[in-house]
Chain A
Amino acid sequence: MKKQSVLTIAAAGVCSMSLLLSACGGSGDSAGSADAKGGSDTMVSVFNPEPANPLIPSMTNEVGGGNPIDILFSKLVRFDSKGKPRNEIAKEIKANADNTQYTVTIKDGWKFSDGTPVTSQSFTKAWSWASNVNNKQLGSGFFSNIKGYGDLQKEGVAGDAQLAGLKVVDDKTFTVDLSEPSSTFPIQVGYTAFAPLPESFYKDTKAFGQKPVTVGPYKFKSWEHNKALTLVKDTNYKGGVVVKNGGVEFRAYTDPTAAYRDVQSGHLDVLDTVPTSARKTFQSDSSVQAINEPGSVIQMFTIPTYMKHFGEDQEGKLRRRAISMAIDRDLIIKKVLSGTGVEVHDFTSPAIPGYAKNLPGSDVLKYNPKKAKELWAEADKISPWTQADTFKMAYNADGSHKETYDAVANSIKNTLNINAAGNPLPTFNEFRSNVQGRKFTDSAFRSGWQPDYPSPESYLKSNFDSSAADGNGSNDGDYKNPEFDQLMVKAASAKSLDEANKIYQQSEEILFKDLPAVPLYYMNSNGVAGKDVKGFSFTWKNTPDYASLSK
């Protein structure tokens, strides 16, 4: 168990990127042919929330900063539009026998936008800097599996301390020693936080955060706060992304409805989300082109194991299943979400290899009012649910979840004949504090998941493994099942991806019985673009493929 826990933290850390990763896959498989000069040179304008942090890769953990940073900084690997990793700056990432040490060699000729070359140190120094607690990086957890991370997290550590696990062999080669074996390390290094940084970064990190020196398909042009962040095509780019426009202007919006109006009236090219007010109309709106296709995000609500009547005992299991079967997901998707979601069949998503639609036990995710009532009545025999009890589901009111949770509550209420209601909390701050402080002892709470890499592991381990419980990861409901944990270990050491996926499917069968969280629906990738925009498509990460846009 111990052996595994660190790995899980690393995986969980990696998952902090979940909201922001967009693959920079251009035309998909045309790897290597750096045809950056093709296409038009027009600027495209896209919707984007104002970045919440300076433009430093390891500081960024939300879409506002993640979207631009992802196309500003190339990493060792990139993901194509299907989410498949491809070498970008890396020439080779080679593991030793037990996956505890990796040797990374990088390609020649890569240069930062200030002309300095990309070397081994561009990576090792950047990773060490981000791991250093004094630098207060929100993404420092990404490096937690690299040896020496713990030392850099101690107070009073020297400012230029380096991760002990990183050794520079020469300008183009370095080795990484991991604390725990990891087969996913070569994928992890494709995340934004692992981007290389130039020497000039360390001289003035503050200035860099406002005006970064980059190494990617785009370079930084200007950032007018709360107005626009403009990137232009970097003609020196050597990687595999095909850039079809002259640059991308990330316009700052606070409300997607306003952006929708701008797309309609031709003042904005791309909006990568659909405001609630346009859900019913965006696909038939003749003034825009719309996309609505299955994505990789799953929406659930967690019923914490510390919630009254819902513990990890027989009563809890019965009630969880009753609740799940009391929700008419089909109808909610149709009526409330207007088809912007897909009916849920498991705990991962259809966009992921290893997804299976009809796993044994997945019936529990189907609306079955009769069975739900029976299960609920059975649970009532163990310990009665009184008229004074209400089944509550918490969400943050500053998101847009009210309609969904009102509908879920009504469905539960009508089926089980109990009180059920949404439980809005005014701010995300408060919502998260309550989740982290384990204060939802009488309420379920919203949980959604966007994966970091296309494997069921990214969904299952971070959310339901014991080692991610108790504040060590994203298992906020503190679900613990040794049987499930063992399957996670088994899958990680599986010889092939298919074999691993089979084991993950087995683990899901356990989840169907225990229902640590109740899946609601798979959220679609959807958005609109102006009529004259070409190449509007979504990556597997639910973000627009910025490089392929043109007019």
Chain B
Amino acid sequence: MGKYLLRRILQMIPVVLGTTLLIYALVFALPGDPVAAMFGDKPVNQAVAAQIRSEYNLDKPFIVQYVLFLKNALTLNFGNTFAGQPVVSVIGRAFPVTVKLALMAFVFEGVFGVIFGIIGGLTKGKWSDNVILVLSLLLISVPTFVTGFILQYLFGVKWHVLPATAGANPGFMDLLMPAVVLGSVSMASIIRLTRTEITSNISEDYVRTARAKGMSNRQVILRHVLRNSLIPVVTYLGADIGGLMGGAMITERIFNIQGVGNTLFQAILRGEGTLVVSIVTILVMIFVICSLVVDMLYAVLDPRIRYA
């Protein structure tokens, strides 16, 4: 097991290298000249533009840029953004709030998704199942901006229950609404996955056995059915946590959260290679760790799955 873990952690090295190369290449291939755009709608001072390009190594061939980036990254020097701020401090500001938001959304979608899924699965075909089907359908087909807007308007503007936007140093209450909006997108998939697994597992023979042994319904569901139903859900959740961090752009915009999604989005629009690569590298490490955790959970949930 220890060996397996070590191997998985070592795999991170090629993954990070591959990601940085790929992302760097993509940013390099972005159409448009970021330096020229700094001058806005106005003519470009070519002499100054040339100086700026050389400051950010933008005048060098792609592979040289990449090697320079790697070399600097090894000494933990990620350079500055076009706005003259260290990339490290930009990331340092964006990640904490996003991690908070992502975890809250994660807990929300995980807990409610599984609960609704169980209810739907256990009452298959009954009205409660149908209500939950409609709920998940709504979550799928109502765009985030609508859910965000409606919650923001009702709770923030009309009733003054929660702050309309997250503000500068958001706490739990500030992030509650954004987390619900963010989490509700993936919740539909979790509900459906849980429900499906529950319906198929509930008629398994071991359930009958467990019932026959005299276990209470609750125990049967929680200890046997749910445990056997969780593998796809855990897989989905594990993959989602990275998505919640990097892809929360719309939610972050609605609630004015200066987090990773927005920083990444702006950096892509501006063509800021180092910032994009640095953020994505952190995201990919989160993904690798999450998939490791998920794989470990498989073994816990289903002991027949073993890793050598």
* Stretch in A375-383, A429-437, A508-516 touching the partner: A429-437
B74 within 8 A of A: no
B33 touching A18 by the CB < 8 A rule?
Answer: no
User: Quick one: which of A136, A226, A398 contacts B48, CB cutoff 8 A?
Assistant: A136
A298 within 8 A of B: no
Binary per-residue interface labels of chain A (458-493) against chain B in the complex, 1 for a CB within 8 Å, 0 otherwise: 000000000010011110000000000000000000
The residue of chain A having its C-beta at the shortest distance from the C-beta of B53 within the complex is: A136
A227 touching B168 by the CB < 8 A rule?
Answer: yes
B84 touching A53 by the CB < 8 A rule?
Answer: yes
State in angstroms the CA–CA spacing of A296 and B168 once bound together. 33
Are A430 and B48 CB-contacts (below 8 A) given A53-B84, A54-B84, A267-B163? no
B83 touching A54 by the CB < 8 A rule?
Answer: yes
A370 within 8 A of B: no
A140 within 8 A of B: yes
B256 within 8 A of A: yes
Are A261 and B48 CB-contacts (below 8 A) given A54-B83, A473-B43? no
Among A15, A154, A264: residue with most chain B CB under 10 A: A264
A316 within 8 A of B: no
- Contact count A vs B, C-beta below 8 Å: 165
A248 within 8 A of B: no
Report the minimum CB–CB distance from A444 to chain B (whole Å).
16
A36 within 8 A of B: no
Taking residues whose C-beta sits less than 8 angstroms from the other chain, chain A's interface range is 35 or more
User: Quick one: which of A140, A225, A227 contacts B45, CB cutoff 8 A?
Assistant: A140
The residue of chain B having its C-beta at the shortest distance from the C-beta of A472 within the complex is: B43
User: Quick one: which of B84, B167, B256, B271 contacts A429, CB cutoff 8 A?
Assistant: B271
Chain B residue numbers with a CB within 8 Å of A474 are: 41-43
State in angstroms the CA–CA spacing of A272 and B275 once bound together. 30
B136 within 8 A of A: no
Binary per-residue interface labels of chain A (119-141) against chain B in the complex, 1 for a CB within 8 Å, 0 otherwise: 00000000000000110111011
Enumerate A219-239 residues with CB–CB distance to B below 8 Å. Answer: 224-228
A433 touching B36 by the CB < 8 A rule?
Answer: yes
User: Quick one: which of A51, A140, A258 contacts B256, CB cutoff 8 A?
Assistant: A258
Are A209 and B256 CB-contacts (below 8 A) given A133-B48, A140-B48? no
State in angstroms the CA–CA spacing of A132 and B47 once bound together. 10
B33 touching A433 by the CB < 8 A rule?
Answer: yes
B43 touching A427 by the CB < 8 A rule?
Answer: no
A391 within 8 A of B: no
Chain A residue numbers with a CB within 8 Å of B153 are: 261
Binary per-residue interface labels of chain B (117-152) against chain A in the complex, 1 for a CB within 8 Å, 0 otherwise: 000000000000000000000000000000000001
A5 within 8 A of B: no
A432 touching B36 by the CB < 8 A rule?
Answer: yes
The residue of chain B having its C-beta at the shortest distance from the C-beta of A471 within the complex is: B43
A262 touching B165 by the CB < 8 A rule?
Answer: yes
Report the minimum CB–CB distance from B208 to chain A (whole Å).
54
The residue of chain A having its C-beta at the shortest distance from the C-beta of B265 within the complex is: A254
Chain A residue numbers with a CB within 8 Å of B42 are: 12-13, 15-16, 18, 61, 141, 474
B43 touching A252 by the CB < 8 A rule?
Answer: no
Chain B residue numbers with a CB within 8 Å of A253 are: 256
User: Quick one: which of B31, B55, B157, B164 contacts A433, CB cutoff 8 A?
Assistant: B31
Enumerate B27-49 residues with CB–CB distance to A below 8 Å. Answer: 30-34, 36-45, 47-48
A52 within 8 A of B: yes
User: Quick one: which of A261, A430, A473 contacts B31, CB cutoff 8 A?
Assistant: A430
User: Quick one: which of A9, A261, A434 contacts B157, CB cutoff 8 A?
Assistant: A261
A264 touching B40 by the CB < 8 A rule?
Answer: no
State in angstroms the CA–CA spacing of A471 and B93 once bound together. 39
The residue of chain B having its C-beta at the shortest distance from the C-beta of A155 within the complex is: B47
Chain B residue numbers with a CB within 8 Å of A62 are: 40
B258 within 8 A of A: yes
Binary per-residue interface labels of chain A (88-102) against chain B in the complex, 1 for a CB within 8 Å, 0 otherwise: 000000000000000
Chain A residue numbers with a CB within 8 Å of B306 are: none
A428 within 8 A of B: yes
State in angstroms the CA–CA spacing of A371 and B157 once bound together. 50
B100 within 8 A of A: no
A53 touching B48 by the CB < 8 A rule?
Answer: no
Among A18, A19, A427, A448: residue with most chain B CB under 10 A: A427
Taking residues whose C-beta sits less than 8 angstroms from the other chain, chain B's interface range is 35 or more
User: Quick one: which of A16, A228, A429 contacts B269, CB cutoff 8 A?
Assistant: A429
B256 touching A134 by the CB < 8 A rule?
Answer: no
B169 touching A267 by the CB < 8 A rule?
Answer: no
Binary per-residue interface labels of chain B (47-58) against chain A in the complex, 1 for a CB within 8 Å, 0 otherwise: 110011001000
B164 touching A226 by the CB < 8 A rule?
Answer: no
B39 touching A138 by the CB < 8 A rule?
Answer: yes
Report the minimum CB–CB distance from A230 to chain B (whole Å).
11
Enumerate A269-283 residues with CB–CB distance to B below 8 Å. Answer: none
The residue of chain A having its C-beta at the shortest distance from the C-beta of B269 within the complex is: A427
State in angstroms the CA–CA spacing of A532 and B194 once bound together. 51
A224 touching B168 by the CB < 8 A rule?
Answer: yes
A206 within 8 A of B: yes
Are A134 and B51 CB-contacts (below 8 A) given A264-B157, A431-B32? yes
User: Quick one: which of B32, B47, B84 contacts A209, CB cutoff 8 A?
Assistant: B84
B37 touching A16 by the CB < 8 A rule?
Answer: no
B152 touching A261 by the CB < 8 A rule?
Answer: yes
Are A225 and B93 CB-contacts (below 8 A) given A258-B254, A265-B160? yes
State in angstroms the CA–CA spacing of A32 and B249 once bound together. 48
A257 within 8 A of B: yes
Binary per-residue interface labels of chain B (204-230) against chain A in the complex, 1 for a CB within 8 Å, 0 otherwise: 000000000000000000000000000
Report the minimum CB–CB distance from A548 to chain B (whole Å).
25
B266 within 8 A of A: yes
Report the minimum CB–CB distance from A149 to chain B (whole Å).
11
B256 touching A12 by the CB < 8 A rule?
Answer: no
State in angstroms the CA–CA spacing of A264 and B157 once bound together. 6
Are A261 and B165 CB-contacts (below 8 A) given A16-B39, A429-B32? yes
A441 within 8 A of B: no
Chain B residue numbers with a CB within 8 Å of A61 are: 38-40, 42
Report the minimum CB–CB distance from B1 to chain A (whole Å).
43
State in angstroms the CA–CA spacing of A398 and B32 once bound together. 14
Report the minimum CB–CB distance from A259 to chain B (whole Å).
7
Chain B residue numbers with a CB within 8 Å of A227 are: 168-169, 258
Are A255 and B43 CB-contacts (below 8 A) given A133-B48, A429-B37, A436-B36? no
A33 within 8 A of B: no
A368 within 8 A of B: no
State in angstroms the CA–CA spacing of A19 and B39 once bound together. 11
Chain A residue numbers with a CB within 8 Å of B32 are: 427-434
Binary per-residue interface labels of chain A (46-86) against chain B in the complex, 1 for a CB within 8 Å, 0 otherwise: 00001111100000011000000000000000000000000
A404 within 8 A of B: no
Are A53 and B83 CB-contacts (below 8 A) given A61-B40, A429-B30, A472-B43? yes
State in angstroms the CA–CA spacing of A429 and B253 once bound together. 21
The residue of chain A having its C-beta at the shortest distance from the C-beta of B42 within the complex is: A16
Interface residue ranges, A against B (CB under 8 Å): 9, 12-13, 15-16, 18-19, 50-54, 61-62, 133-134, 136-138, 140-141, 153-155, 206, 209, 224-228, 251-255, 257-259, 261-262, 264-265, 267, 287, 398, 426-434, 436, 447-448, 468, 471-474
Other 17 A-B pairs with CB < 8 A, given A53-B83, A61-B40:
A12-B43, A13-B42, A15-B42, A18-B42, A52-B38, A54-B84, A138-B38, A154-B47, A226-B94, A254-B258, A258-B165, A258-B254, A262-B164, A426-B269, A432-B36, A433-B37, A474-B43
Interface residue ranges, B against A (CB under 8 Å): 30-34, 36-45, 47-48, 51-52, 55, 82-85, 89-90, 93-94, 152-153, 156-157, 160, 163-165, 167-169, 252-256, 258, 262, 266, 268-271
10 contacts between A and B (CB under 8 A): A137-B48, A141-B42, A254-B258, A261-B164, A262-B164, A287-B157, A427-B270, A429-B34, A430-B30, A436-B36
